[in-house]
Amino acid sequence: MSELLDRRAVRLDETAADKEEAIRLCGAALVEIGAAEAGYVDTMVAREKSVSTYVGEGVAIPHGTLDGKALVKRDALAVLRFPAGVDWDGEQVTVCVGIAAAGDGHVELLAALAEILLDEDQARSLREATDVDTVIGLLSSVQEEASE
């Protein structure tokens, strides 16, 4: 968990003028924690242009393309919160979960995220979280339940 979701990559008070800037901020966080090469960020922007990564409940999960996998150094996630929201093709996104993955290390965590988003109360808690421990706790607690 700690390796996959580095607390340095959980940033809860970000601002972005548009979708691309939000994606680039997620990418930059993944690069800063050593999860991906700088070039990975461009593949995240490219991926978004083919199909939106908006998944519902004010959450988007930007990630790279198949080619971008070569630029991933280790599986990791970044959680960025944009309290003022970001326009995502007409949807309002508050939370971006940036993904760098070459393998399947992050699958459990995405499964946990899906569970959170299918539960209105938990989805709201994620959107409204203002401290890093709340976000990490939310994602790890569901993960434990899911593995029962």
Q: Give me the residues that bind another protein (CB under 8 A), please.
A: 47, 50-51, 53-57, 61-66, 68-69, 99, 101, 104, 106-107, 110-111, 113-115, 117-118, 146
Name the catalytic one among 63, 68, 88, 97. Answer: 63
Shortest distance in whole angstroms from residue 12 CB to another protein: 21
- C-alpha 41/C-alpha 25 separation (Å) is 9
Shortest distance in whole angstroms from residue 49 CB to another protein: 10
Whether 106 sits among the annotated catalytic residues: the reply is no
Shortest distance in whole angstroms from residue 128 CB to another protein: 19
Shortest distance in whole angstroms from residue 38 CB to another protein: 18
Given the complex with another protein, which of 13 and 97 has the nearer CB atom? 97
Does residue 36 contact residue 71 with C-beta atoms inside 8 Å? yes
The residues near 115 (Cβ < 8 Å, ≥ 6 apart) are 122, 142, 145, 146
Given the complex with another protein, which of 27 and 68 has the nearer CB atom? 68
Vertex 44: Cα angle to 2 and 76 (nearest 5) = 10
Instruction: Give the residue numbers annotated as catalytic, written as ranges.
Output: 63
